[in-house]
Structure 1
């Protein structure tokens, strides 16, 4: 017998007949007409080349072949219902698995602390793996299942096939060592452009501020270019360098070393921080839980500071 020629719905009918021993009761249980049920029973008999259920004075009695098949068919039907057709669930308290998150180092310091606190309480055996990818590789990583979520500023993911959810809006600020004598609380545009800058471009990527300044035709005096924002904790103190960074980075750096913020001589662009996932993960219970957790922890109103 070729399984491709078998209508698996017939197994459901067999299982129901084996339990109820009645065409009428089976039809009612399966929400079928009596004629449709009788027709399906005829096809079932043809498949197994056996009468399977024979009418007696009181009910439809199973043949020896039906008695042999009954427990096996019941297991098959139960497996399909409970393990294949039942929507999968995710229990964070009992889950033991790892999730990969795409985020730059700014995301690691801004997004993960609060998430880790929640994981300790709600999902103690869940592990996170934070990785950074070049802009062009982020979409492929989500599409191919190498990462479950991308969190941060990923304008290249604003395309068909990807879902996005806004977390908060941020902006840029200028920071310097607290003992920087040449930099006051404000700078003119000329002073800003001629100052010695540290520029951070994670993964070597051009960032929103770079495009903003280029569009204005403004060229900074870049003394040092870095790949990691947290290197500022070591490089700013005792130097005459300044750095224009997202507000969250200024907050984090200020928690480790003494810095001062300098008002920019222009209105900087706004950063829309979001989380992204591929459409194939839209209905996945584990992914739904993960992005719900990131949203609950990191969602902020406009102008709100990063939590401590």
Structure 2
């Protein structure tokens, strides 16, 4: 017998008839007319080459072949009902799994601290793996299922095939060591461009501020280039360097070293911070829970900042 010739609906009919022992009751249970049920029973008999059920004075009695098939068919039907047709479910309290989050180092220090206490309370067996990827590599990782969520500034993911959800809007600040006496609280554009800048350019990631300045034709005096924002903790103190960084970085760095903010001589661009996921994961219960958690913890109202 070729498996392609088996109609799974006939197995449901067989299982129901095995319990009901009546064509009428079977028809009512599976929502078919009596004639349609009788026709299905005929196809079932033809498929297995056996009468399967024989009418007696009181009910339909199974043949030996039907009795042999009954437990196997019951198992198949139960498996389909419980494991295939059952709505998917994710229980964070019982889950033992890892999620991969794509975010730059700014995201690791801004987004994860608020998430960890929630995981400890609500999903103690869940582990997070934070990775930094270039924009093109982020799209590839989400598409292939190598990452579950991208959180941060990923304008290249604003395209077909990806869902997005806004978390907050931020901007840039200019900071320097609190003891830097070479610059004041305000600078002209000429003074800003001539100052000694430390610029952070994480590998493979283009920055909105860079494009903004290039578009204006403004060239800064870049003394030092870094790949990681957190290196500012060691490199700003005791120097005359200034750094123009996202607000969250200014807040986090200011938690550890004394800083002074310098008013920018121009209005900086706005950063749209969002979370992204591939459309394959749109209805996945685990991914839905994960992005819901990140949204609840990291969403901010307009103008709100990361807590200092």
- Say yes or no: TM over 0.5: yes
Contact 2:169 2:270 in 1 (8 A): yes
**In 1, are the aligned partners of 2:135 and 2:204 still within 8 Å (CA)?**
no
Structure 1 consecutive aligned stretches of length 4 or more whose deviation exceeds 2 Å:
none
C-alpha RMSD of the superposition: 0.8
Residue 87 of structure 1: aligned partner: 87
Q: Aligned equivalents of 2:74 and 2:157: distance in 1? A: 47
Describe the SS at the equivalent of 2:45.
helix
Q: Quote how far apart the aligned CAs of 1:307 are.
A: 3.3
**Conservation of the 8 A alpha-carbon contact between 1:204 and 1:227:** no
Q: How many residues align?
A: 308
Consecutive unaligned residues in structure 2, runs of 5 or more: none
Uncovered stretches (5+) of structure 1, i.e. residues with no partner: none
1:68, distance to aligned residue in structure 2 (A): 1.2
How far apart are the structure 2 equivalents of 1:40 and 1:183? 88
Per-residue deviation, residues 200-223 of structure 1 (Å, max 9, x unmatched): 111142200001001111100001
| Kept in 1: contact 2:251–2:307 (CA 8 A) | no
How many angstroms apart in 1 are the aligned matches of 2:307 and 2:72?
A: 58
- Greater CA drift, 281-290 or 62-71: 62-71
Match of 1:156 in 2: 156
TM (norm. structure 2) is 0.99
Partner of residue 272, structure 1? 272
Query: Residue 266 of structure 2: SS of its match in structure 1?
Result: coil
**Which has the larger displacement, 61-70 or 265-274?**
61-70
Corresponding residue number in structure 2 for 1:129: 129
Residue equivalent to 2:26: 26
Instruction: Give yes or no for contact 2:195–2:242 (8 Å, CA) kept in 1.
Output: yes
CA distance in 2, matches of 1:92, 1:307: 27
Query: How far, CA to CA, are the matches of 1:203 and 1:39 in structure 2?
Result: 67
- What's 2:290 paired with? 290
Post-superposition Cα deviations, 1:111-153, rounded to whole Å, max 9, x if no partner, equal: 0000111101100110000001112111000000110000000
Q: Distance in 2 between the 1:289 and 1:209 partners? A: 33
CA contact (8 A) 2:171 2:246 kept: yes
> Match of 2:112, SS?
helix
Q: Structure 1 length as normaliser, TM-score?
A: 0.99
Which residue of the partner structure matches residue 174 of structure 2? 174
